[in-house]
Structure 1
Amino acid sequence: MKKVALITLHGMGKYKPNYYADLEQSLKDMLGDDWAKVSFQNVQYAPILQDPQNELWNDMSTEPNNDLDFVKLRKFLLFGFGDAGTIGYSSNRNREKYIKVQQAIEQTLAQAYLDLSKQENKPVIILAHSLGCQVISNYIYDAQKDYNLFETALSGSEDETKFKKLKSCHHLLTTGCNIPLFVAGIEKANRVAFTRPTTDFIWDNFYDADDVLGYPLKQLGDDYNNMVSDHEINAGGFLSSWTPFSHSQYWDDKDLLRPLVKTLKAHMK
């Protein structure tokens, strides 16, 4: 029987459907037979944003008057910050894509709920990377305030709705988190976070000092300072750990995997 759900969210940039594959293998190796107790579910929100980005890039790159240099860097910035910009725009203007992203999370949680034998109090652990940290933060905040996706009743039973609102979420692990990019222009007193979903809720934030897209969070304001534990790690191997490319290396790092395995085992009882 599944004892705990592990939900992952990918970051910004070019979409890779199997973004979780290396993490899954590492966890299987470290947990052994206990892996069978984990409902491993992976949110796929990038396809909602990727097609328009591909169309825009194709229009730009095929225009004969556009002689663009640094193509790889341009595509990284367009696909990466295009994700963030679209979600930000959608949350304040046309909410269609913003809500579709939240629906992708809801659908993933619905599968976890079934996998956990429809027991709404089974623990949920969330691992989010990069833009996924902002995405899941918005989801939890909106669920608690009944905003956006949660303005109307969700499909399913009352117990399933509680589960989808992450009322049994006990641990959030964020890596390469760029929430500060979204709130930098807001006064410190107004940088509010969601409240703890459970009394024993833990938020561990992992960042590499060489990762220009990953930040500590405690300095954002009282809400974050009282809830987040920041951990500086050296993500990546010899060639990447001291460069901005460390942004994509967190989920292979033992300093992340060890506490993740520890919290999974703690909730298997």
Structure 2
Amino acid sequence: MKVVGNSMKIAVGFVHGIGKQKEHFHAAMAGLISKRLGEICPAVELVSKGIYWADITDRLEDELKEKLAPDHLHWNKWIDARGYAISFLGDAIAYQPLPHKAGDDDRNYIYTAIHERFYEKLQELAQCTGPSAPLCIISHSLGTIIASNFIYDLQNGRLPSGKLASISEDPSALVRGDTLTHFYTMGSPIAIWTMRYNDFGKPISFPSPALLAEGLPYGEWVNFYDKDDVIAYPLKRLSAEYDAAVTEDVEVRNPGFLASTPLNSHGGYYRSRTVIERIAKSLAELYDQTTRQPIR
């Protein structure tokens, strides 16, 4: 972990979830975290990038809606309910990798294209912060699965051919995922995804094996969930492996209009004071542990 003088740069990658998204989806939350961190630990500078992938699936979803338009299906005209369903369900289905043989990576081009975007943003972060800066990933909804899959593939040598095959040899420790100190999952359906395995599968190795090897086991994987959010689930109870990897399942009460309803609570994590405060304080503690400088 690199500290210049009494300051530290931390790379933060935000990964969005399902539905129509804007390229700067992360800006408001990044600003709130930076503001709070500036109050308690001004020596830390956050460098944030949004790992925006919605445009990759939007093209196929828009094409599908055009193909179905002549059928005049119910609920399309007034509230675009089917468009909503295609956008939300389509993202998850399109991202799901298909069984394929070695060398047949083009069949999983959505999965691969999203992970290539993830790789590109990590490279941008490394250029801005330095190759060995601490890495924090903040993910939401389907983005928690994308982040988990990306890190898992990287840690277990499951990278496909092409651009992604070079990640493990990248000179930047940050890009290789070796400096991952903080992982935040918000409104995560990972618990449902684990049903593909009879033992509920295995989580990513956390903390980063590279940090553990250096004797630096600080950081945390915190899973935020609102009990009213039907897409979000706790993770520690899934298995002994998840219990060891996940630092804490934190229940929150998301803000917003009708936030106590099953779906309207799902987007509130970006504005949750509980989430903002936990992340800011933990990143400040990272600086404290690295420099032995007390935080305010």
For the criterion TM > 0.5, the same-fold answer is yes
Match of 1:111 among 105, 124, 142: 124
Q: Secondary structure at the match of 2:234?
A: coil
Contact (CA 8 Å) 2:258, 2:265: kept in 1 or not?
Answer: no
Matched, 1:222 2:233: no
Match of 2:23 in 1: 17
Q: Secondary structure at the match of 1:42?
A: strand
Listed one character per residue, the Cα deviations across residues 105-145 of structure 1 (whole Å, up to 9, x for unaligned) are: 11111011111133x2x211110000000001001110011
Match of 2:87 among 61, 67, 79: 79
In the superposition, the TM-score normalised over structure 1's length comes to: 0.88
Match of 1:128 in 2: 139
Supply the RMSD in Å over aligned alpha carbons: 2.4
Deviation of the 1:91 alpha carbon: 4.6
**Kindly tell me: are residues 57 and 154 of structure 1, through their superposed partners in 2, closer, same or farther at Cα, counting changes over 3 Å?**
same
Matched, 1:212 2:230: yes
**Kindly tell me: are residues 243 and 156 of structure 1, through their superposed partners in 2, closer, same or farther at Cα, counting changes over 3 Å?**
closer
Q: Distance between the aligned counterparts of 2:98 and 2:277, measured in 1?
A: 35
Match of 2:104 in 1: none
Q: Distance between the aligned counterparts of 1:150 and 1:6, measured in 2?
A: 27
Q: Which runs of 5+ in 2 are unaligned?
A: 101-106, 292-296
Q: Distance between the aligned counterparts of 2:203 and 2:167, measured in 1?
A: 26
Match of 2:49 in 1: 41
Q: Secondary structure at the match of 1:128?
A: strand
Q: Distance between the aligned counterparts of 1:234 and 1:99, measured in 2?
A: 35
Contact (CA 8 Å) 2:225, 2:249: kept in 1 or not?
Answer: yes
**Kindly tell me: are residues 155 and 207 of structure 1, through their superposed partners in 2, closer, same or farther at Cα, counting changes over 3 Å?**
closer
* Map 1:88-107 → 2, pairs under 5 A: 88=96, 90-93=97-100, 94-107=107-120
Match of 1:175 in 2: 186
* Letter matched to residue 101 of structure 1: I
Contact (CA 8 Å) 2:254, 2:268: kept in 1 or not?
Answer: yes
Match of 1:246 in 2: 265
Aligned pairs, how many?
Answer: 262
**Kindly tell me: are residues 117 and 14 of structure 1, through their superposed partners in 2, closer, same or farther at Cα, counting changes over 3 Å?**
same
Matched, 1:55 2:63: yes
Q: Distance between the aligned counterparts of 1:171 and 1:150, measured in 2?
A: 28
* Letter matched to residue 171 of structure 2: D
Q: Distance between the aligned counterparts of 2:22 and 2:188, measured in 1?
A: 19
Q: Distance between the aligned counterparts of 2:14 and 2:50, measured in 1?
A: 5
Contact (CA 8 Å) 1:91, 1:98: kept in 2 or not?
Answer: no
Structure whose residues are more often helix by fraction: 1
Deviation of the 1:39 alpha carbon: 1.2
Deviation of the 1:165 alpha carbon: 2.2
Q: Distance between the aligned counterparts of 2:245 and 2:167, measured in 1?
A: 31
Contact (CA 8 Å) 2:92, 2:142: kept in 1 or not?
Answer: yes
* Letter matched to residue 24 of structure 2: N
Q: Distance between the aligned counterparts of 1:36 and 1:253, measured in 2?
A: 22
Deviation of the 1:24 alpha carbon: 2.5
Q: Which runs of 5+ in 1 are unaligned?
A: none
In the superposition, the TM-score normalised over structure 2's length comes to: 0.81
* Map 1:145-160 → 2, pairs under 5 A: 145-149=156-160, 153-154=165-166, 158-160=170-172
* Letter matched to residue 109 of structure 1: L
* Letter matched to residue 166 of structure 2: L
Matched, 1:8 2:7: no
Matched, 1:69 2:69: no
Q: Distance between the aligned counterparts of 1:262 and 1:254, measured in 2?
A: 12
* Letter matched to residue 111 of structure 2: Y
Deviation of the 1:47 alpha carbon: 1.1
Q: Distance between the aligned counterparts of 1:51 and 1:35, measured in 2?
A: 42
**Kindly tell me: are residues 5 and 91 of structure 1, through their superposed partners in 2, closer, same or farther at Cα, counting changes over 3 Å?**
farther
Calculate percent identity across the aligned residue pairs.
24
Q: Distance between the aligned counterparts of 1:72 and 1:235, measured in 2?
A: 26
Q: Secondary structure at the match of 1:41?
A: strand
Q: Secondary structure at the match of 1:170?
A: strand
Q: Distance between the aligned counterparts of 2:24 and 2:260, measured in 1?
A: 23
